[in-house]
Every structure is written in structure tokens, then in C-alpha cells.
Amino acid sequence: MADGPQAAAPARGRTRGGPLGAALGLGGELLITLGVLLVLFVAWQLVWTDVVADAEMDQEVASLEAAFDDPAATAVPGLKDVKFGQAFAIVRIPQFGLKYARPVYEGTTRDVLMHGIGHYASTAMPGELGNFAVAGHRTTYGKPFNRIDDLRRGDVVIVETRQTWFVYRVSSTEVVAPSRADVILPVPEQPGAEPAEALLTMTSCHPEFSSRERYVVHATLATTYPHAEDLPADLLTRRG
């Protein structure tokens, strides 16, 4: 008689939980898999895109520098002949480090901003009367404007082109709603006003890791130098 119950016990163990237990087990495995995939996606988004974009930007900057120094080079168009998606300038911001240099492309679509700083095509070009307005990522894809909120009044932003070094100095900063397109008008926030100065406006998402608002830096052209000349050393010094 003792053998009967002992023989039946393994069968009960094999069926414990039934279909519900099996479903819960499968659901747990799926959640773990989804969690791992989510972690991998975040790592790709926050880390790997920076690695790839940084390498691309360094290469593009090197190509632009070589073209700027070669009078016979035709790879870089004149400022009035730039086409969508083309790189035509380099932005240097000493406050972000002496090695900071990022290419500027024509256009501000997602594809363009994956490779560097984008120029709002409807705005002025460097040095022109009006507003040379650009955008850049705060996070991911090389995050060229990651430290945009470090800039203070008087800080230098240098825009390098084939012919000219344009030296802008920060005049103000503000945080606005994403819908505030008036910050990139020829005279920021003054619809219909005629520009009397050459301005620069830099925009990026705010706060970091969010697109809830826009951080905006305004600057005014302070001076220019022929590209054939070296910039004064004091312009390349960080504040503080």
C-alpha cells in the first residue's frame, strides 16, 4: 500500500501550476528579455551614437580644415552656394575646451543633426546682417551643444569658414517653449524688424535628456579675421 502514493507523487509535481504557471513563467522570461533589450537600446542611444558621431565629426572637421587651407580645393562651396546637407563651416567654442570643433551642415532635419550642428536654412549665413541660427543635440549623436548652458555673457563663439574667422560674443541666454520660432528671426523676437547687426543664435533641447523646452544662446558679431591669419591667442582662452 505504501508504494501507491509514493509512485503518484512525481506526477503531481510535474503538473503543479498547470497552464497558469506556464504562462506566468513565459511572461517573466519575456519581461526579462524586454528589460535587457531596453538597457541595450539606452546604451546604444546614449553611448554608441556619441562614439560614432564623434568620429564622424572629427573626420569632417579635418576635411574642412584641409579644404580651407587649400586655395585650389573645391570640396567646400562658397557660403552663397551651400546645398542642403553640405558641411561649410566649423564652430569652435573655447569655453567647451580648446579642442572643441564641430562641423556645421546646411539644414536642421533629424538626419543632418545626427552628424553635427545644423544651420536653419532660412536664416543668415555667418557674418551677414541678420541672424545666423543653428541647432545641435544636447544628448546623443555627439551632443555638440551638451554644455550650452555653461555659456555666459561675453564668452566667445568662433565660426570658421574658408575665407574668414567670425568671432561672436554671447550677449544673452534664455529658455523658451519649442514653439518659439521667433528666437531665430533676423532680429530675435521682433517680427518684421530690419536687422542692423550680424547675430548668432544657438538652440538646443532643455533640460538635458528632455525636449520639453529649448535653451537659446544669442551672440553678436564682435570682429572678423581673414582665414589666412592666425587668431589672437586670447580669443582661445577659456573663462575661469
Give the catalytic positions in this structure: 137, 205, 214
Secondary structure of the chain as H, E, C letters: CCHHHHHHHHHHHHHCCHHHHHHHHHHHHHHHHHHHHHHHHHHHHHHHHHHHHHHHHHHHHHHHHHHHCCCCCCCCCCHHHCCCCCEEEEEECHHHCCCCCEEEEECCCHHHHCCCEEECCCCCCCCCCEEEEEECCCCCCCCCCCCHHHCCCCCEEEEECCCEEEEEEEEEEEEECCCCHHHHCCCCCCCCCCCCCEEEEEEEEECCCCCCEEEEEEEEEEEEEECCCCCCHHHHCCCC
Unique residue bearing C-alpha cell 501550476: 17
My answer on whether omega of the bond before 71 falls inside 30° of 0, hence cis, is no
What is d(CA 159, CA 6) in angstroms, rounded to the nearest whole number? 85
Q: Give how far the C-alpha of residue 62 lies from the chain's centroid of Cα atoms, to the nearest Å.
A: 19
